[in-house]
Structure 1
Amino acid sequence: MTRFTTNRRTFLKGAVATAGTAVVAGCNDDNGNGNGNGDDDGNGNGEAAIEPGTDIRFDGQTAGWEGLEPSEIEGEQNPTLVLEEGESYTIGWTEGDGSLHNIEIRDDGGDVVDDLQTDEVDDPGDDQILEFEASSEMAEYVCDPHETTMVGEIQVE
């Protein structure tokens, strides 16, 4: 056992490195790639199974899509939406931060699926809602102007 007085500098370095590791460890998602925050308390990007026929609504914030409804995504940022193949849903944003946003559904290659995209506007309304039938080619919902922060995964089962 190392005593505090034998090598104080080394002891402090080790303590800082250990504390830093603990903080970083909490930032990993289930894949260990550092994209989540390691929890499901409304601040991460947890998965939400969405019932067919559900209206999915977001608050468009440049930092990310914030879930408004259904309750499974309320307060979640960029939640993963688990949808049933062949079932109908609506998705869109009804609140925003005043910046230009749109919503698109893309495949895993980054291409818009079946023209499911809206125009870029700074004030959301009925024209920012997409009606669709879930298909296996759907991989993510994205705001084109903010595609690095306003992006969430779609899993179709």
Structure 2
Amino acid sequence: MARDNPITRRKTLKVTGAAAATALVAGCSSDDGGEGNGDENGGDGGDSYEIEAGTEIVLYAETSGWQGEEPSDIADTTNPTLVLTEGEDYTIGWNEGDGQTHNIEIWDENDEVIDDLSTDEASEGGDDQFLEFTASSDMTTYVCNPHQTSMIGDLQVE
């Protein structure tokens, strides 16, 4: 049986660490302008999705995070970052969920609801869980208030 050589083990760890660091940097340095698949573990993978004016943004309400459904660019992305055009109209909300109580709100940088853009809490989605709004620069996030630590996505208004 071969002896455990600490020098060999140290070299192996250094190579493994360098490989892991390279993979980490490669995986986090991409911002493809909205054509990637996003980060499925919380939405901070750097990908953002430019949303065309007049689009209805449909999400699936799940306590672990908003899951993108429509438009197709955001499908299967957790808490996608949405890039909106200032002064343009949009709709955002959810039709289906995990059966827990959810709502959707649009917040400013102080975590306050903007212009009463908030739905009542409900365990089922539908028409009353959609918000129609005109994008403004003070909008920073869309949030489920009962699950605001996990169901929160960024809004970039340009």
Report the TM-score when normalising by structure 1: 0.81
Contact residue 89 and residue 132 of structure 1 kept, 8 A: yes
Report the equivalent of 2:122. Answer: 121
Question: Which residue type is aligned with residue 84 of structure 2?
Answer: L
Match for residue 138 of structure 1? 139
CA distance in 2, matches of 1:16, 1:70: 39
Q: In structure 2, list runs of 5 or more residues that go unmatched.
A: none
From the superposition, tell whether residues 28 and 148 of structure 1 become closer, same or farther in structure 2 (CA, over 3 Å).
farther
1:72 shift after superposition: 2.0
1:4-15 correspondence to structure 2 within 5 Å: 7-15=7-15
CA-based RMSD: 2.4
Whole-Å Cα distance in 1 between the matches of residues 20 and 38 of structure 2?
24
Distance 2:77 2:63 in 1: 14
The 1-side partners of 2:128 and 2:29 are apart by 34
Between 111-120 and 15-24, report the one with greater CA deviation.
15-24
Q: Decide whether the 8 Å contact of 1:107 with 1:137 is kept in 2.
A: yes
Structure with the higher helix share, 1 or 2: 2
Equivalents in 2 of 1:6, 1:99: separation in Å?
A: 52
| Greater displacement, 77-86 / 102-111 | 77-86
Partner of 1:72, secondary structure, is helix
AA matched with 1:18: A
Look up the match of 2:73.
72
Q: Does 1:41 align with 2:37?
A: yes
2:106 maps to: 105
Distance 1:27 1:145, change over 3 A: farther
Residue of structure 2 in register with 1:34 after alignment: none
**Which stretch shows the higher mean deviation, 42-51 or 84-93?**
42-51
Give the ranges of 4+ consecutive aligned residues of structure 1 lying more than 2 Å apart after TM superposition. Answer: 15-31, 39-46
Q: With the length of structure 2 as denominator, give the TM-score of the two structures.
A: 0.81
Q: Determine helix, strand or coil for the equivalent of 1:12.
A: helix
Q: Deviations along 1:40-71, whole A, 9 cap, x unmatched?
A: 32444421111111111000111111111112
The answer to whether 1:90 aligns with 2:91 is yes
User: Within 2, Cα distance between the matches of 1:83 and 1:151?
Assistant: 16
